[in-house]
Amino acid sequence: MSNDPLETASQCRHYAMCKIDYLETGLCPSGPEKHYVAYYPQGRMDIYAALKRNLIPLTEGLIDIADTCTLCRICDKQCHFATGLRPLSVMKALKAEVEALKESGHSIHQPPQDEVLEELRQIVGPACATNDPAILITYANDPFPLKEMQMPRFVVLPASTAEVSFIVKLARRKGVPTVVRGNGGSVYGMVFTDGIVIDTTRMKDIRIDADNWTATVGAGVTSFDLQREASRLGFRVNAAEPAATVCGNIICTGLFSTWSASYGTFSDNFIDMEFVDDEGRVTHLSDPASPNLYAYQHRVMTPPAICTRAIVPLYPISNDEESLLVPFTNFEDAVRLARELNIRRIGLSIAVLGPHYIATFLSPTLELSQRLKQNLGNVFGIEYAVFVIADSYGRDAVKKMAGSVIDGPLLRKLMLGLPRFLGKDWIDLVRTYEGDHPPYEILCDPAAAPFIEAALQPTPVTAAEAVEEDLRQFYTSLYHKPQYTDGVWLSMHRIVSCRMGRHKHIFAFLVYLPADDIEMFNTLNETFGCTAKELGIDHDFGFITPMDMGKRAVYEYDYYLDQTSAKDKRKAAAVMERIVPWLDDLALTRKGFTWIKTFFSQGCVRKEGFFYEGFSKRTKD
Amino acid sequence: MTFLTGGTGFLGSHIGAELLLKGEETFFLIRGNRKVSAARLEKILDWHGIDRALRAKAHLIEGELENPGLGMNPETLLRIDRIIHCASDTSFSERNRKRVWTTNVESLKAIMDFAVESRCGSFIDLSTAYVAGRRGGLCPEEPIESEGFFNVYEESKAAAEHMLLERCQDEGLRLTILRPSIVYGDSYTGRTFRFNALYYPVKTTLFLRKIFEEDIRERGGEKASEVGVAIEPDGTTRLPLRIEVCKNSGVNLIPIDFFVDAFFAVIENSSDGGIYHIVNPRQTKIEDIIDYTKNQFKLKGIWACGQEEFQRIPRNSLEQLFKRYLEAYSPYIKDTRIFLTEKTNPILERSGIVCPEFDESMFRRCMSYAVENEWLSLSI
């Protein structure tokens, strides 16, 4: 990774991982106090890049943003874990840049007086609505390759449903467009406006009703925060990307995860939702008079309204849950096992993973993950794996069905001993292994346990050997905490999945299709793979999770693009030209086939509406 | 002029180098595009110390065995006197069956078509003594009468021999099949660039030793003690490893320099072709190799025993691991096959070629070379 501040700043992935305390480091101190994205490391990265490109003037907001950075180094730890970037150099450079502007006598730009802004401030308070360009710029772009920068006129931070309602009414009255950003984030290039950005980050109320098995969450509550709170009380929720909001995830993509194997997807994920419609009226899905958002429509949709609250189900946790990784030498067998487990109701969380996912999840650095990915298949024979979380009965069943498995303790050893696992001696020895069985079977053999422990020395210190020297102490203490090597905890909090965009921004294609259609899975892999190869794009199989008793599955294939490269942007456009018509056609002709283009923004629908034929009219545009 | 396949492999490259040293114009068929193939050829000739002048006689044909005509122009094609076919996939593993079968059997059709097209008259095939398969006892220098095989390598090489015998007879091509046993490094220097076969069990043992010694020295030896590994007061390391052998079993080992000498002696003195074993008249007992290993590397606790010993005391975890790791080599550790050399012997005797004995000094030389070179196989 580069040490150049501008290069680092330009690579910020906008995954908002600096807005959740997922490493127990605490948060950037100014963020929770000021709430705007601009006061988090993500915002400061954007601001520094914008400043260097003369996109923003010196403002009081900018000075405050620079001054409130304490160089506490929390951002370096958080961002390194997720993306390998080291934002501290950017923070230092930003402070120096602003200081230099001040010292050079640069005039301080005053944002214009604005009637709408004054009214917004009356609704949310003076500190929570702004038109300062330094703050606006942090809501003006995201890493999606096909979206150009668009500066909003205002950013406003409501704290309640009532405030959202007033804002919407005001915007309607003044004819100003609005978009809503849960937690301020955006990665799909969809929440941009030249009007008002409504950032729901202050709406962080979580109410757990244990007797009723429900959690009520505000629009600014992240998946991580809810999962942590539910977990503290002995429950689990079906959560998606950790830094994304629960409401946002439900609305946008229907909230799917590997846990969808047991917890379902789309309308399975909520009990009720509260909205503010485009006239500012507050509605509830449970109200018979409210619009029917349960019905899937096979067309491109925009979000139905602003979701201000969701009531989601809580699930019990048994005290013997553990993760298992079942290695396979081929794709088909892995998919078959995953489906079979779902048919038999074995396992809570199920996913077919490829070497890229496995390597990325296990490795604290990009370099290590690339080496692991290279060796998993070539040396250890692990071309694919089925990741399962199950109780002890479930795990016994998986072992009976699959034979060799990497169980939770072994997975922990591999994570902690990874730098040595990829050592020359070990790799060389396994590479020349000539047995009839895949080499991973030796790894999984209980007889090998003392040898593996002696060889890998799986300790937090060993794991930390992989990172830069100044971060080793931090990683050592991090890996001393059992949850950071616990497959169950990591999976339910999803904090390693953010690493998928570590080497480049991830551009994911999501498809729902019949889980028994191996031929179609192969076609998807081949077509996505060949298209990427022809266009010169980094790419990899993402994952498959079976659901609905093994009848359907969600499938992900990922393209990786350098968000700062004009060439990669052109490639992304070429991808869309080729892939979109092909997937559109499959959605019209294949039973049970739907892709993200049409289910995006329809997260409240009943999954049955598109899982099964005959419940939505499907025609070409 | 010789056309050589497999010229970047261990045996094939030694043959290629010897051909160049003898001043023979040699076409090397090497996989990959021109740039890659050329780099591979350069690398292997560097390893063999072939100088610039001699390299002028080395000609690269890049491509795959399966390509018709193998990319040669017809004029050059007709200048080929003989084909030496060394290209082979030596994996024993069933999981590589498809790959092994494609390389060792299916690609033969193309190479035979090429041989016929070139009208070269002589086809020399590098096979293996282990085409004998599960047949125990005496193995003659004759076509195989299969009694099953220990692995896909043996099976595919036997199938290749059958194909060649049939096709060469049909086409009137003279066929010479050479069947070496297990080849190790140079008998004078120990030099090699492949550390499989003989080397693999030793390398595995030393890896185990290293791991557990580190555990003892640096972390109190908890894991080492779980499997009974200890460092003795005299500095030796005790590895409790029993290795299963059969009564009267042994392994047939020949050094690469003997192999090369024998190979050329046979092909230059077998005007009618035929099948020839290039083997050691003396089998080396596994017990001896174990002793050599213990002596050279200061080890204790390793010993050879019969199957009944494991019925008495089941394998410990270290032994289970070792067995699993070395399962592919098991038939060769427990080998009772005796390879007859009625045809080869007179040729070697006339040429004054004698297979060196695989004694402790030979073992020490080879393993010292391996250790000094960190068991690094040449990556081609």
pLDDT in tens, B61-89: 887 766 666 767 777 788 899 999 999 99
Residues of B in contact with A329 (CB under 8 A): 95
pLDDT at A74 over 90: yes
Classify domain B2-180 at the CATH topology level.
Answer: Rossmann fold (3.40.50)
* Domain shared by A395 and A470, yes or no: yes
pLDDT at A621 over 60: no
The candidate with the shortest Cα–Cα distance to A568, out of A150, A187, A144, is: A144
Has this prediction a pTM greater than 0.80? yes
In angstroms, what CA-CA distances link A160 with A164, A274, A277?
6, 12, 15
Average pLDDT, chain A: 94
Mean pLDDT across B277-297: 96
The candidate with the shortest Cα–Cα distance to B367, out of B296, B306, B317, B307, is: B296
CB contact under 8 A, B320 and A445: yes
Give the E-state strand segments of A182-264 in sequence order: 196-199, 206-209, 214-218, 235-236
Task: Give pLDDT tens digits for A319-366.
Answer: 999 999 999 999 999 999 999 999 999 999 999 999 999 999 999 999
* Domain shared by A539 and A575, yes or no: yes
B314 reaches A (C-beta below 8 A): no
* Domain shared by A431 and A327, yes or no: yes
Mean pLDDT across B252-259: 98
* Domain shared by A238 and A387, yes or no: no
Instruction: Please name the residue of chain A whose CA is at the shortest distance from the CA of residue B92.
Output: A434
Q: In the prediction, which pLDDT does A2 show?
A: 64
Residue A107 DSSP one-character state: P
3-state SS assignment for residue B186: coil
Q: How far apart are CA A395 and CA A488, in angstroms?
A: 13
Looking at chain B from residue 203 to 222, which residues have their Cβ under 8 Å from any Cβ of chain A?
A: 203-204, 207-208, 210-212, 214-215, 219
The candidate with the shortest Cα–Cα distance to B83, out of B167, B199, B186, B206, is: B167
Local confidence band at B249 (pLDDT 50, 70, 90 cut-offs)? confident
Q: Which of B10, B223, B237, B376 to mutate to test binding with chain A, by most A CBs within 10 Å of its CB? A: B223
**Which residues of chain A are at the B interface, by a Cβ-Cβ cutoff of 8 Å?**
329, 381, 425-426, 428-429, 432-438, 441-442, 445-451, 453-455, 457
pLDDT at A615 over 90: no
Q: Between these two residues, B137 and A94, which has the higher pLDDT value?
A: A94
The candidate with the shortest Cα–Cα distance to A49, out of A97, A100, A6, is: A6
Q: Between these two residues, A569 and A555, which has the higher pLDDT value?
A: A555
| A148 assigned to some structural domain | no
Residue A111 DSSP one-character state: P
| A292 assigned to some structural domain | yes
Q: Which of B91, B93, B149, B226 to mutate to test binding with chain A, by most A CBs within 10 Å of its CB? A: B93
Q: Which of A451, A452, A453 to mutate to test binding with chain B, by most B CBs within 10 Å of its CB? A: A451
Query: Tokens standing for A534?
Result: 């022809």
| A260 assigned to some structural domain | yes
B91 reaches A (C-beta below 8 A): yes
Give the E-state strand segments of A188-320 in sequence order: 196-199, 206-209, 214-218, 235-236, 272-276, 282-284, 306-313, 315-316
So where are chain B's domains?
2-180, 199-249+284-336+360-372
CB contact under 8 A, B219 and A457: yes
Local confidence band at B378 (pLDDT 50, 70, 90 cut-offs)? confident
Mean pLDDT across A148-167: 96
**CATH number of the domain enclosing A292:** 3.30.465.10
* Domain with A56 in it: 5-103
CB contact under 8 A, A450 and B208: no
pLDDT at A411 over 80: yes
d(CA B99, nearest CA chain A) in Å = 14
Q: Are A512 and A592 in contact (CB under 8 A)?
A: yes
* Domain shared by A373 and A496, yes or no: yes
CB contact under 8 A, B95 and A437: yes
| Domain count within chain A | 4
Q: How many degrees, rounded to 5, is the angle at CA B234 between CA B230 and CA B237?
A: 30
Local confidence band at B376 (pLDDT 50, 70, 90 cut-offs)? confident
Mean pLDDT across B249-278: 96
Q: How far apart are CA A171 and CA A177, in angstroms?
A: 7
Q: How far apart are CA A347 and CA A396, in angstroms?
A: 11
Which residue, of A316, A337, A367, is where some domain finishes? A316
Q: H or E element: which one contains A353?
A: strand A349-353
CB contact under 8 A, A435 and B210: no
Average pLDDT, chain B: 93
Q: In the prediction, which pLDDT does A498 show?
A: 84
Task: Give pLDDT tens digits for A86-104.
Answer: 999 999 999 999 999 999 9
Instruction: Please name the residue of chain B whose CA is at the shortest distance from the CA of residue A420.
Output: B211
Instruction: Report CA dihedral (A426, A370, A363, A253) to the nearest 10 degrees.
Output: -140
Amino acid in position B131? V
CB contact under 8 A, B321 and A425: no
B340 reaches A (C-beta below 8 A): no
How crowded is the C-beta side of A325, counted as CA atoms within 13 Å? 30
Plot region of A145 (φ>0 → left; ψ -120 to 50 → alpha; else → beta): alpha
**CATH number of the domain enclosing A566:** 3.30.70
Q: In the prediction, which pLDDT does B66 show?
A: 66
The candidate with the shortest Cα–Cα distance to A92, out of A1, A8, A185, is: A8
Local confidence band at A209 (pLDDT 50, 70, 90 cut-offs)? very high
> What interface predicted TM-score (ipTM) does this complex get?
0.83
